């Protein structure tokens, strides 16, 4: 049941990626904290051994140490006075020759414990467990007696166990935090990929649609030609082939990387008037320019393609007969009347390949014109802004 729930939950790519990232981070985080705690314990353990060894070696070099260890009631100097020796409190004195304990003020020893103490070698730091507690022991001699110095490891162990517990709890808390962050990172990583995949799928669908339509018409024309040879079927087929060539050329232009183009000084006023003259029979085009000589360093073919595409787009989608073109040193704008204003989403999507705001696709366009203009303006380092207001469709190309 749990496995089925996990499998169902992880079907989403974002959740699956977030889960994997958080689990990996959890183990790395836990391992790192555990390693830090372990290294801290080892370092502290070695420091205690070092202090114990130095204490057991140095304390016995003091003359009054013999009386201290062998007296019935050893007195310990005030530890706050740094000028006086700090005598150890945790020690046991054993006469190994007679098998007796001379002094033991802090441990209850069983026979097994005593035997273990006898087996400890001199000058070797050993570990021993007495009454459930772990001790480090250092052995030295005073006369014929053995003095064993002890260090209780329980506080060190308790501290690091607590530290390890905190680290584990922190790891689990970190797991939820990391999962939340991973979900966010996975979303911003995968969502663009999903969007690109959806766009690619739509793109492929549109390419197939736009190419299938003329192919169907040409097939029909060929069938009709078999029945009744007429020039109109040939002319129709020729038009469809020209349309397919236009689609393919446009797609190839959109697909190629932005390369270097030959630039030359062009009088945009004269060039624009030449282009407009080709479309005067299809619409009333009003052209206004503040100067007769507006010169820019640009590519002649690309500029021509921009103006042609914008004029053809205006002719296809105009609701009236007039098209207005304004040219100055900063920009050129082309506007035409439309039946309704475009929404913000439509204005954003209109430069995408094959996008047409006429959802019925009753228009004769392919949805490539504005995409081509946007591509060219990018190549030339210009800008393109689209706006609709008062049922006017306005395209402004900034130089």
Summarised one tens digit per residue, pLDDT across range 308-333 is 888 888 887 776 678 888 888 888 88
Domains annotated for the chain, with CATH where assigned, are 78-152 (3.40.1840), 263-398 (3.30.565.10)
**What is the spatial distance between Cα 74 and Cα 141, in angstroms, rounded to a whole number?**
17
**204 pLDDT more than 90:** no
Model pLDDT, residue 207: 61
**115 pLDDT more than 80:** yes
* Report for 2-6, 251-255, 353-357, 395-399: range of highest mean pLDDT: 395-399
Model pLDDT, residue 76: 44
- Predicted confidence band at 297 (pLDDT cuts at 50, 70, 90)? confident
Nearest residue to 97 via CA among 147, 144, 148:
144
* Report for 41-50, 222-231, 389-398: range of highest mean pLDDT: 41-50
343: Cβ contacts below 8 Å, ≥ 6 apart: none
**What is the spatial distance between Cα 318 and Cα 393, in angstroms, rounded to a whole number?**
9
The pTM (predicted TM-score) of the whole model is 0.45
**What is the spatial distance between Cα 211 and Cα 225, in angstroms, rounded to a whole number?**
21
**What is the spatial distance between Cα 337 and Cα 394, in angstroms, rounded to a whole number?**
9
**Residue 311 has which token pair?**
């004029």
CB atoms < 10 A from the CB of 137, how many?
Answer: 22
Pair 75, 89: CB distance under 8 Å: no
Model pLDDT, residue 360: 42
Overall average pLDDT of the 125-148 stretch: 86
**206 pLDDT more than 90:** no
- Predicted confidence band at 65 (pLDDT cuts at 50, 70, 90)? low
For 173-188, write each residue's pLDDT tens digit: 887 887 777 777 767 7
Model pLDDT, residue 73: 44
Neighbour-count burial of 34, counting CB atoms closer than 10 A to its CB (0-12 exposed, 13-18 middle, 19+ buried):
middle
**What is the spatial distance between Cα 243 and Cα 39, in angstroms, rounded to a whole number?**
75
Model pLDDT, residue 286: 87
**42-51, 236-245, 348-357: which has the minimum mean pLDDT?**
348-357
At 101 the three-state DSSP class reads strand
In terms of pLDDT, which residue wins out, 69 or 244? 244
CB atoms < 10 A from the CB of 385, how many?
Answer: 13
For 5-50, write each residue's pLDDT tens digit: 455 545 566 677 777 777 888 888 888 888 889 999 999 999 989 8
Residue percentage of the chain with pLDDT more than 90: 5
**Residue 369 has which token pair?**
């014109």
**What is the spatial distance between Cα 236 and Cα 230, in angstroms, rounded to a whole number?**
10
């Amino acid at each position: 049941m749990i496995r089925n729930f996990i499998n169902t939950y992880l079907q989403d790519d974002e959740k699956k990626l977030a889960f994997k990232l958080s689990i990996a981070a959890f183990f790395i985080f836990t391992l790192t904290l555990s390693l830090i705690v372990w290294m801290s314990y080892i370092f502290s353990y070695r420091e205690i051994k070092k202090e114990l060894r130095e204490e057991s070696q140095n304390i016995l070099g003091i003359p009054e140490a013999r009386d201290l260890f062998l007296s019935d009631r050893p007195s310990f100097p005030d530890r706050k006075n740094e000028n006086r020796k700090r005598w150890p409190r945790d020690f046991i004195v054993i006469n190994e020759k007679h098998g007796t304990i001379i002094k033991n003020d802090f441990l209850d020893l069983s026979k097994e414990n005593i035997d273990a103490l006898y087996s400890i070698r001199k000058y070797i730091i050993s570990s021993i467990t007495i009454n459930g507690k772990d001790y480090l022991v250092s052995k030295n001699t005073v006369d014929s007696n053995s003095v064993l110095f002890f260090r209780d490891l329980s506080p060190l162990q308790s501290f690091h166990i607590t530290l390890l517990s905190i680290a584990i709890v922190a790891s689990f808390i970190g797991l939820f935090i990391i999962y939340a962050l991973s979900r966010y990172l996975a979303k911003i990583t995968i969502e663009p990929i999903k969007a690109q995949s959806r766009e690619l799928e739509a793109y492929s669908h549109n390419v197939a649609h736009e190419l299938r339509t003329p192919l169907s018409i040409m097939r029909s024309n060929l069938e009709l030609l078999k029945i009744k040879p007429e020039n109109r079927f040939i002319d129709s087929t020729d038009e469809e082939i020209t349309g397919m060539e236009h689609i393919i050329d446009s797609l190839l232009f959109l697909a190629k990387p932005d390369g270097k183009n030959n630039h030359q000084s062009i009088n945009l006023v004269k060039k624009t008037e030449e282009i407009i003259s080709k479309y005067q029979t299809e619409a009333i085009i009003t052209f206004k320019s503040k100067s007769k000589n507006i010169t820019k360093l640009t590519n002649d073919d690309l500029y021509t393609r921009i103006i042609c595409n914008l004029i053809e787009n205006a002719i296809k989608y105009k609701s009236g007969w007039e098209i207005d073109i304004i040219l100055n040193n900063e920009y050129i704008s082309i506007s035409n009347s439309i039946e309704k204003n475009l929404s913000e989403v439509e204005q954003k999507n209109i430069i995408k390949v094959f996008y047409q705001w006429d959802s019925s696709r009753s228009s004769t366009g392919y949805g490539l014109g504005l995409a081509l203009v946007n591509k060219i303006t990018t190549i030339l380092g210009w800008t393109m802004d689209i706006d609709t207001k008062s049922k006017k469709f306005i395209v402004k190309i900034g130089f």
